[in-house]
Amino acid sequence: MTRHLVSIDDLSLDEIRALFHLADRFAADPRGQRDAARGLIAASLFYEPSTRTRLSFESAMLRLGGGVLTAAEMSSSSAAKGESLADTVRVVGGGYADVIVLRHSSEGAARLAADYSTVPVINAGDGAHEHPTQTLCDLYNLHVERGRIEGLEVVLAGDLKYSRTVHSFAYALARFGANIVCVPQPGFEMPEYVLRRLREEFGVEPLRADTRRLGDLAGETDAMYLTPQKPHQLSLFTDARGWELQRVDALYMTRPQTERFSSGEEASERYMRLERRDMAAESLRDAVVMHPLPRRDEIASDVDEDPRSIYFKQAARGVPIRMALLATLMEQAPGLDSPPVQPESYPVAVGENPCPNPNCISRTEPRHVAPRFVVASRQPVRAHCAYCSRELVFRFVGCSTSRSYHAPEAGALRKVRPDHLVFFEDEGAAGRHEFVPAST
């Protein structure tokens, strides 16, 4: 079975740990792996600009002894002629390459590519959705610097709304049992759909956080504490200021993701900034400072001199962890044997596309992509897009067999097969498709 890396959830915790150990081996002798992937080829399909991610993957493949095909400006090549992503993937994976590394501006693009590819697809970032290999790199750095991930206190600061890196990292940290402190730039808080997933899948309940110990860095923001460690019991011990942050193991800064801002949206001229004086905070005494790069002004250049700043080491360690991932997915190294069970998705059989995300691949390539959904809850019925993970918006749910529709909380819907569920934004939409209200 061909394995893909679309989301960090495509790897079990044991598989991630196995990749860490393989990366340790590669890091100890990066130039001694030239036979690991000899004769194999990686294709870099980048529909968005990239420096670190693309070069890191290409360096990793070359150090394994393989070859690289680079298409760094896909949006101005075949895509400009109207070729669909699905067709591109089928051509490239049909004989050109043994693995595809894809970066795309549309959320869910990597999931679509995996559906059509006969070779492994690696998501190198899809819109504001996920960036699982950056997450692997970030987790690997915690593994190297701290020796563990479980129970660590990790601060995520800056643009938490649009940073796909932050979203993937938050999911992975929760799975490992780390604690997360969200310190957003005002107006760019963690999206509700991310918080909902953390709550539903990992039992994480957000608590107000008292981050005075972070000093000026968190002076003008509403911070949250996200922990899988018995959150309800923790809330009994907080006061009006929230759960007090005592110490930090890692501070993860992010830049404003201006390329993903909505029309008319802009960050404050005073974007949060980590200064050398902030590093004197007692809570940061033992913290490492991380950043996925590139940075703008959110970290002052003199912070580079602090030994706790590891963002350049972080980027360098992206090569051995990506070497480990490539070798494993191309079956040149052991390690993938216990994939997590993925939820089943179903096609949207009737009605309009219920995904509310205008940047979802099901909306940006509507002629080529049939919308699909995953059921999140049956009572009441809730569902999310199988591509971009955004929760579907609807007021009524129908049954394609009975041609009747109900309110999402109706008990009768529990008897309807998931693949027979139909979503409508209002009564008019249901009527246009010849559905009638369910009899009471």
Domains of the chain: 8-132+318-329 (3.40.50.1370), 147-309 (3.40.50.1370), 346-437 (2.30.30.20)
Separation of alpha carbons 185 and 418, rounded Å: 39
pLDDT attached to residue 232: 55
Inter-axis angle of helices 52-63 and 318-329, nearest 10: 60
pLDDT attached to residue 413: 94
pLDDT attached to residue 233: 55
With tokens 């040149």, the residue in question is 332
Single out the residue of 87, 89, 19, 26 nearest to residue 61, CA to CA. 26
pLDDT attached to residue 338: 67
pLDDT attached to residue 229: 66
Separation of alpha carbons 149 and 173, rounded Å: 7
Q: How far is CA 130 from CA 46, 137, 165, 180, in A?
A: 15, 13, 6, 18
pLDDT in tens, the chain (440 residues): 789 999 998 999 999 999 999 999 999 999 999 999 999 999 999 998 888 899 999 999 999 999 999 886 666 566 656 789 999 999 999 999 999 999 999 999 999 999 999 999 999 999 888 889 999 999 999 999 999 999 999 999 999 998 888 988 999 999 999 999 999 998 889 988 889 888 888 888 788 887 877 877 776 677 888 888 665 555 555 555 667 778 899 999 999 887 766 666 666 668 889 999 989 888 899 999 999 988 888 999 999 999 999 999 999 999 999 999 999 999 887 777 766 777 899 998 776 788 999 999 999 998 888 899 999 989 899 999 999 999 998 999 999 999 999 999 999 999 999 999 999 999 999 999 999 999 85
pLDDT attached to residue 388: 93
* Centroid of chain to Cα 220: 27
Helix boundaries (H) for 66-204: 85-91, 109-116, 132-146, 164-176, 192-202
pLDDT attached to residue 119: 96
Single out the residue of 344, 352, 356, 424 nearest to residue 390, CA to CA. 356
